[in-house]
Amino acid sequence: MNEPDFLIEPYPPARTGGQHVGIVSSAVQVTHIPTELTVICSHERSQVRNKNFAVEMINNALEKLKHENN
């Protein structure tokens, strides 16, 4: 997949409080622009890892759809 096919945006944290208040949100929302398939990922504390995981999830979903349509 090409990076321009994705819209990657930071996603606000689900709740406030805790020791990480004021730290940049690590959650991301990744949208595959051609299909408008969107994944929000906040599993990791690293925004880069969350982005990579979300892109991987979208790629897997697109692969599955491709096989189902053939």
Q: Which amino acid is at 67?
A: H
Contact 29, 40 (CB under 8 A): yes
Confidence (pTM): 0.78
Total domains in the fold of the chain: 1
Predicted confidence band of residue 3 (pLDDT cuts 50, 70, 90) = confident
Give the residue among 18, 20, 39, 42 at the shortest CA–CA distance from 30: 39
- As separate numbers, helices (DSSP H) first and strands (DSSP E) second, the chain gives 1, 3
Residue 44, domain extent: 3-13+23-68
Q: Give tens-digit pLDDT for 7-56.
A: 999 987 666 656 655 666 789 999 999 999 999 998 888 899 999 999 99
> What's the CATH code of the domain at 52?
3.30.160.20
List, in order, residues 6 or more apart from 12 with CB less than 8 Å away: 25, 27
Contact 42, 11 (CB under 8 A): yes
